[in-house]
Structure 1
């Protein structure tokens, strides 16, 4: 199928007068998760990962992915005429310089890219006299004959009982920053920042409870909000009050800027697309290009949000435990005519979560990897790829849920019987890294990249590592991957601050055999013992498989941490699970000898 699609795309590129085209994995809002109507990369290449870029020239095509998706991309590309490359800007520029000649042009959709994201290409291609040309119409849309419609479900108020701060108070708090910058307005480029500022949620994007929206916030705290007409109901209008005007055409935001005599707009160039900047510049509006202040504000959860996420994690932990308790029996009961595989495991876990109060959706597609599929870091199971799960080997499940009071994300790796000899050492070294982060105390001002090595040291001691970050930020009934905070090798310059939620998920992957990852969500809090220091507190509640632990590799302090954690898991979840899971929970949380 991709051969025909590539050919149709090349014909459209010729019609639009360009010799190559960029196909990012994203939408005009720079969302990580995108509606089906914006899955252009998957439509063209079959690759369904959350990050990637395809380049199509008149003779060749290539898919660029990072280390998380190397194996997945190989599997999904298959025998298509698409090369696979490492995702970095220099490699993309090199490929294009090899493919294009002086005087030719690379086309791109300005709604799907940011100026910083294209900066290196501008420089490298410009040196070769190759044009980088914005296109009015996306050529994929012209040949994607059965492209789904853009979603526009209802936007709904998100109550104060979950947010802990009224929208009007948030707007005034953020608007006060505009005066300090001598800016007249702040551009809100995507649904997440709009959802937080206006206390609204929706269902337009898979796994992300938002309505497709963008907005302008003015210095006096009033705002103009874009939402599709179908998204707006009486409850929403009443919720927003008369300080927020709603428009149903995105171009009306720019007309509103003119009506409000906006001369200077604060825009975040990292999340604002090129097309928007073009529209603002056409109005002779000065652009203050700095990080969006809402991103930092929503990352620091208030007391109501933290209480909500604790409650959500208790319900979610109970659901996960009921799944883990039933998993061995489901595997053992399978027959050749009625097998139990990775896909059925996803369905079983989903059914457990659906029984919990407030469940809205999975927070991402569950990673359900048995044996070799567990070694594919961001594996997405399908009917075609689903392996039958047997009463042996290792199974990895990375999953999460959206509840109105919190967003969850948890990974557990479990043994289902006999397993490879080395797995015990690998698992224990991953656990040591997990505990090293969980127990860390660090001074205020410390960034995630400064503590990442603590998670990797036990693996590094044996010449081992993993090709993904150690931790990402998490929203409050928003994105399961939220910035600006993260823990990883790459520098962020963003200090961890009290109230931030972050994952703790070291791992190890042995290609063709198994994957290991242990992930809890934690939040940052002030240290009670040392002024000026911060530490983490666990949110996730689920047992860590003791059968995969080599106790001799753990220090007394590490064994004590695990025993204390398991005692808290047992005491908190016992009243919330069924009798079978209570028996299982008591057994799997027995303490290790100190």
Structure 2
């Protein structure tokens, strides 16, 4: 199938007069999770990871992925005529320079890329006299005959009881920043920033409760908001009131800018696509290119949002605990004819979450990996890949839920029976890194990259590491992967601030044998004991498998943290779970001496 699609795409490239084309994993809003109609990379290559890029030239094609997806890409590419390479614009530039000749052109869809993301590529190709050419029509769309229809679901108000701040108050607060910058308007490039500013939610994107939208916010706090006609109902119109003008064609946003005599627009080039910048420049509008202020504002949750996150995590922890309590019996009951596998485990966990108040969707596709599949960092199970779970070995489940009061993301690694002896040391070293972050105190102004090494030290001590970040930001009934905050090796330059929710998820992966990851969500708060210092508070409430812990490797302080955490889990969840899970919970949270 891939060969036929590559052939059709190359014919279309020839028709459009370019010799190569970039196929990113993304949409015009730069979303991480995209509608089915924007899954161009998966359609072309069968790669289903959430990050990657394909480059197709006349003779060869390549898929570029990062360390999280190395094994997954190998499996999904199979024997297709597509090379696998390491993700990075430098690597992509090297590959394209080897494929293209002087005077030839690389085509790209300007709606799917940002100018900063293409800067290095433009420079490197320009040095070889190779043109970087924006195309009016995406060549993949031209040959994708059964492409799904783009979504246009209903947008709905998100109540003040969950947001803690009215849209008008948010708009006024952000508009004051416009005055400081002497800008006439702020460009809102994607559904997430629109969802936060206007207090609306939707169902256009899998696992992301948003409606496809973009907008302009003016200095007086009024706004023009793009939503499809089908997304708008009476409740939404009443919610937005007359201060927000709704339009159903993106071109009307630019016409609105002209009507409002906008001379200078604040845009974030990192999250605004090239096509939008082209349209604004065509109107002779000056661009103030700085980081979007809404991304930072929504990252710092207010008291209502934090209370909602706590409540959502209590219900979610109860659901996950019920699943973990049932897991051993479900595995033991499996037979050769009716096995309980990775896929059935996902279905069971989903059923337990669906029974909880407010659950609306998974926050991402669950990573359910048994044995060697657990070593694939972002493994996605399907009917063909699903391994039967047996009463032996190690199982990793990374999952989360979307609730109107909060978004959850939690990973637990559990022993299903006998397991390789070395796994106990690996698990304990991952746990030590997890506790190091959980108990850390740090001064105001500290960025995530400055604390990442605390999570890795115990692994580094024995020459081990993991090829993913330690923590990502999480939204409030929004994206499970939210910026700008993160904890990782790469520099972000973003200081951690009170109210920011992050994951704490060190791991270790032994290819072909097992994967280990322990993930809780935490949030930043003021340190009561030391002025000018911050610390973290746990949100996630689920036992950590004591069977996998080598207590001799833990310090007294680490044992104390674990025992206190388990006591809190037990006391909080006991009233929320069934009798069978109460028995399991009592045993799972016993102190370690």
Cα deviations across residues 478-525 of structure 1 (Å, max 9, x unaligned)?
Answer: 000000000000000100000000000000000000000000000000
Task: Give SS of 2:34's match.
Answer: coil
- 1:591 paired residue number: 591
Aligned to 1:64: 64
Paired with 1:381 and 1:244, the residues of 2 have a C-alpha distance of 43
CA distance in 1, matches of 2:265, 2:413: 48
Show the counterpart of 1:20. Answer: 20
- Could you report, residue by residue, the CA deviation over 1:211-269 in whole angstroms, capped at 9, with x for unpaired residues? 00000000000000000000000000000010000000000000000000000000000
Match of 2:469 in 1: 469
1:517 equivalenced with 2:514 (yes/no): no
Distance 1:70 1:266 in 2: 38
| 1:87-166 equivalent positions in 2, closer than 5 A | 87-166=87-166
1:581 equivalent to 2:584? Answer: no
Partner of 2:361: 361
2:555 maps to: 555
Deviations 1:295-322 (A, max 9, x none): 0000000000000000000000000000
Distance 1:140 1:90 in 2: 24
User: Where does residue 282 of structure 2 map in the other structure?
Assistant: 282
Deviation at 1:291, TM superposition (A): 0.4
Report the Cα distance in structure 1 between the residues aligned to 2:153 and 2:483, rounded to whole angstroms.
26
Q: Using the alignment, how far apart are the partners of 1:50 and 1:286 within structure 2? A: 34
Residue deviations 1:12-47, cap 9 Å, x none?
Answer: 000000000000000000000000000000000000
Counterpart for residue 224 of structure 1: 224
The yes-or-no answer on 1:298 pairing with 2:295 is: no
Find the aligned partners of 1:89 and 1:154 in 2 and give their Cα distance.
37
SS in 1 for 2:574: helix
Q: Which residue of 1 aligns with 2:449?
A: 449
Match of 1:31 in 2: 31
- Tell me the TM-score normalized by structure 1: 1.00
Report the CA distance between 1:427 and its aligned residue. Answer: 0.1
2: CA distance, partners of 1:336 / 1:124? 56
Q: Please state if 1:569 is matched with 2:569.
A: yes
Q: Give the match's secondary structure for 1:195.
A: helix
Mapping of residues 161-240 of structure 1, within 5 Å: 161-240=161-240
Q: Deviations over 1:358-388 (max 9, x none)?
A: 0010000000000000000000001110000
Distance (Å, rounded) in 1 between the aligned partners of 2:421 and 2:585 = 26
* C-alpha distance in 2 between matches for 1:421 and 1:58: 51
Q: Distance in 1 between matches of 2:111 and 2:443?
A: 41
Cross-structure match for 1:83: 83
Q: Which residue of 1 aligns with 2:479?
A: 479
SS at match of 1:582: helix
Q: CA deviation at 1:473?
A: 0.3
Deviation by residue 1:171-200 (Cα, 9 ceiling, x = unmatched): 000000001000000000000000000000
- Counterparts of 1:79 and 1:122, CA distance in 2: 31
Write the distance in 2 (CA, Å) between the matches of 1:334 and 1:422.
27
- Aligned partners of 1:505, 1:115: CA distance in 2, in Å? 32
| Structure 2 segments unaligned to the other structure (5+ residues) | none
Report how far residue 89 of structure 1 moved.
1.1
Distance in 1, Cα, partners of 2:266 & 2:477? 26
Which secondary structure state, in structure 1, belongs to the residue aligned with residue 312 of structure 2?
Answer: helix
* 1:255 alignment partner in structure 2: 255
SS in 2 for 1:324: helix
In 1, Cα distance between equivalents of 2:105 and 2:381: 38
Residues 27-74 of structure 1 show CA distances to partners (whole Å, capped at 9, x for unaligned) of: 000000000000000000000000000000010000000000000000
Shift of 1:351: 0.1
- Partner of 1:429, secondary structure, is helix
Q: 1:392 is paired with a residue of what secondary structure?
A: coil
Report the 3-state secondary structure (helix = DSSP H, G, I; strand = E; otherwise coil) of the residue aligned with 2:465.
coil
Match of residue 244 from structure 2: 244
Partner in structure 2 of residue 52 of structure 1: 52
Q: Aligned partners of 1:364, 1:508: CA distance in 2, in Å?
A: 21
The match for 1:386 is 386
The Cα of 1:421 is off from its aligned counterpart by 1.1
1:401 to partner: Cα distance: 0.4
Secondary structure of 2:287's counterpart equals: strand
What SS does the aligned partner of 2:497 have?
coil
Secondary structure, aligned partner of 1:497: coil
Measure, in 2, the Cα distance between the counterparts of 1:87 and 1:154. 36
Cα distance between partner residues in 2 of 1:421 and 1:10: 52
> Aligned with 1:580: secondary structure?
helix
How far, CA to CA, are the matches of 1:528 and 1:129 in structure 2? 60
After the TM superposition, list the runs of 4 or more consecutive aligned residues in structure 1 that deviate by more than 2 angstroms. none
* Cα distance, 1:543 vs structure 2: 0.2
Distance 1:551 1:591 in 2: 11
Residue 80 of structure 1: how far off its partner (Å): 0.2
2:323 maps to: 323
Equivalent residue, structure 1, for 2:460: 460
Secondary structure at 2:499 match in 1: coil
After TM superposition, the score normalised by the length of structure 2 is 1.00
Task: Return the alpha-carbon distance in structure 2 between the equivalents of residues 189 and 498 of structure 1.
Answer: 26
3-state SS in 2 of match to 1:543: coil
CA distance in structure 2 between the partners assigned to 1:108 and 1:588 by the alignment: 53
- Residue by residue over 1:541-580, the C-alpha shift from the partner in whole angstroms, topping out at 9 and shown as x without a partner, is 0000000000000001100100000000000000000000
1:583 to partner: Cα distance: 0.1
Query: Separation in 2 of the partners of 1:57 and 1:123?
Result: 19
Three-state SS of the structure 2 residue aligned to 1:147 is coil
Q: Which residue of 2 aligns with 1:527?
A: 527
What are the ranges of 5 or more consecutive residues in structure 1 without an aligned counterpart?
A: none
Corresponding residue number in structure 2 for 1:419? 419
Instruction: Provide the residue aligned with 1:270 in structure 2.
Output: 270
